[in-house]
Amino acid sequence: MVLDVDVRPVLTWGPTICACRSAAPRRSSCPTARAVFLDRDGTLIVDRPYQARPEAIEILPTVFEGLRLLADAGYLLIIVTNQSGIARGYFGTRALRRFHDHLGKIFADHGIRIAAFYYCPHHIAGRRPELARPCNCRKPAPGMLFRAARDWGIDLGRSWLIGDMPTDAEAALAGGCSPILVGPERARGDRRWTVVATFEEAARWITQDGGSDCAILRRVPE
């Protein structure tokens, strides 16, 4: 008797990493990997401020479709997220890891692997003294991108960042990769980055229009 067994590989997801801590040894002295860095709240999931409950996760429209396009095009998918809720005392690092594990599983169940989740816990208005300071990992600073590039051998000049706020785009430009924002109402008036209406449009822009030359920054017509 022949059993009909599903032999598809089980996808996993990468770790949650505090970008501000010491990096692992460099994987490659000649970075070649391409990545799409992903803002989390307001880009991949509904933005619920200072939320760390896994059951509150709600994936935004066209995100699954867009992530599949990017993965199929060979891009590493890496989330980079400011998480000042830790500094402010709303939740801790364990809660954040549980949240990211749940989010990673949601994507894995849809055939999408997130390579890693990088976060910055700092904020100058934090209630935890050790975290109440400026940090070069907090967007719009590019520290999370630099850390991920070191860990994964990423060529930032051939990589992108998809976000929903100008601070995401500023981090991309400071890090040497190309920004694209989802949601024109939040980003009009600056021609240094591309703006589209949906996540899937952002992915198509990268894989079909802009991915061949990340050095050319363009904006969709208003």
Catalytic residues, by residue number, are: 39, 41
SS (H, E, C) the chain: CCCCCCCCCCCCCCCEEECCCCCCCCCCCCCCECEEEECCECCCECCCCCCCCHHHCCECCCHHHHHHHHHHCCCEEEEEEECCCCCCCCCCHHHHHHHHHHHHHHHHHCCCCCCEEEEECCCCCCCCHHHCCCCCCCCCCCHHHHHHHHHHCECHHHCEEEECCHHHHHHHHHHCCEEEEECHHHCCCCCCCEEECCHHHHHHHHHHHHCCCCCCCCCCCC
